[in-house]
Amino acid sequence: MIQNFDYHTPTRVIFGKGVVEQLPEVMKPLGKRILLAYGGGSIKRMGLYQKVKDLLKDFEITELSGIEPNPKYDPSVLEGVRLCKENDIEAILSVGGGSVLDCCKAIAGGAKYDGDPWDLITYKEETKAALPIVDIMTLAATGSEYDAGVVISRTETNDKVPYQSPYLYPVCSFLYPTYTFTVNAKHTAAGVADAFNHVLEQYFCSDHNMVADGFCEALLRTLIHYAPIAIAKPDDYEARAEIMYACMYGCNGILELGNSPSGWPMHAIEHALSAYYDITHGEGLAIITPRWMRHILSPRTMERFVSLGTAIYGIDPNLPEKEIAEQTIDRTYKFFESIGLPMHLRQVGIDESRLREMAAHVKEDVMQQGEQYVVLSEDDVYGILHDSL
């Protein structure tokens, strides 16, 4: 049965070739004093840094650089909040991937709050305002460009926590697929795995509907079709563009409108992996996904596997259901493997030493709270992790 929903994504998306030229007119109504945030040197190498500086020559720019993958509360969020307060920043421009943007969202909330921003991230205090955010994406993966969510890591406590507030939707996201041409094969594949998993997290639920299913399947087919092309030919505009477009819908809720909650279990497990070992999020998800699927396969969940496998892999619907489900899991594993993703934890430097500790931590992950499609015990999580070695 279709569930009630309350949906609102106010973000404007400007997508395509050359769109970044519109940056000044988008920024102008937001203010003159801008925090320009980015990660490492890639935006300088591709000329985007200079391009942005040229476009914003009439603005007062304060820079925050060096934002990490799996962005860190300390130093990046704290440093960004300090810069915003000291320089009376009016708007934030994120140039980079989802990590940079997530960091900027946390900064945007923190800049409008008098206390410790961790209070907001952990919902101890309600987020009641945020600086406006604009972003230029250089990686197709997280969907952060079209959602109001953030994932922030705190190293000293091995925490990697999700944080949401309606104030955190970007005002405008620029998606210029050409800026993803220089993303290497490893991160292209990891981005695809991240987006693929976002869709699966929402597809596997008790109450679903035909519109949601069809939207999810369309995105998965797109990722399956274009990922190998983008990896084989990194400057294939169409492949990069279709992937970038598909990724945008990952996390803003549109894929689960009318569905019952799923609990996002694979993300909960992966967040422990990257909190403990700082691995690439999409790689962790690729490893976890087929093991989680196998773990939850049961007569109750069978219909989801059959629906998925026939729709995205074209598996013959006349086969026995169990066989369709098994093939669906195998095809998912092989798809990830075929685009060069590591498929074992050992390949990303994780051995069995801390699996128990991580399984315990997952139970505390807020994503594991609330309704779950298949409730996982600590032993279940341990089993999935162990199968992933």
Residues in touch with a second copy (CB under 8 A): 1-19, 209-211, 213-215, 217-219, 221-222, 225-226, 237-238, 241-242, 245-246, 249, 257-258
Helix (H) / strand (E) element for 33: namely strand 33-38
Residue of 143, 151, 175, 138 lying closest to 39 (CA atoms): 138
Q: How far is the CB of 242 from a second copy (least distance, A)?
A: 6
What are the C-alpha distances in Å from 144 to residues 98, 158, 194, 283, 377?
6, 22, 12, 18, 29
Q: How far is the CB of 156 from a second copy (least distance, A)?
A: 39
228, with CB counted inside 10 A (0-12, 13-18, 19+), is middle
What are the C-alpha distances in Å from 251 to residues 6, 195, 257, 377?
15, 9, 11, 25
Helix (H) / strand (E) element for 243: namely helix 237-247
Q: How far is the CB of 2 from a second copy (least distance, A)?
A: 4
Q: Which is nearer to a second copy, 73 or 245 (CB)?
A: 245
**One-letter amino acid for residue 389 of the chain:** L
Q: Which is nearer to a second copy, 357 or 371 (CB)?
A: 371
Q: Which is nearer to a second copy, 159 or 213 (CB)?
A: 213
Q: Which is nearer to a second copy, 48 or 64 (CB)?
A: 48
Residue of 295, 326, 290, 306 lying closest to 208 (CA atoms): 306
Residue of 124, 227, 122 lying closest to 185 (CA atoms): 227
Q: Which is nearer to a second copy, 197 or 310 (CB)?
A: 310
Q: How far is the CB of 230 from a second copy (least distance, A)?
A: 13
The overall longest dimension of the chain from CA atoms, in Å, is 65
CA angle centred on 82, ends 49 and 52, rounded to 5°: 15
Q: Which is nearer to a second copy, 237 or 276 (CB)?
A: 237
Q: How far is the CB of 22 from a second copy (least distance, A)?
A: 8
Q: How far is the CB of 363 from a second copy (least distance, A)?
A: 31
Q: How far is the CB of 18 from a second copy (least distance, A)?
A: 8
Residue-by-residue DSSP string for 321-374:
HHHHHHHHHHHHHHHHHHTT---SGGGGT--GGGHHHHHHHHHHSGGGSS--SS
CB 151 within 8 A of CB 121: no
Q: Which is nearer to a second copy, 4 or 353 (CB)?
A: 4
Q: Which is nearer to a second copy, 14 or 302 (CB)?
A: 14
Q: How far is the CB of 221 from a second copy (least distance, A)?
A: 6
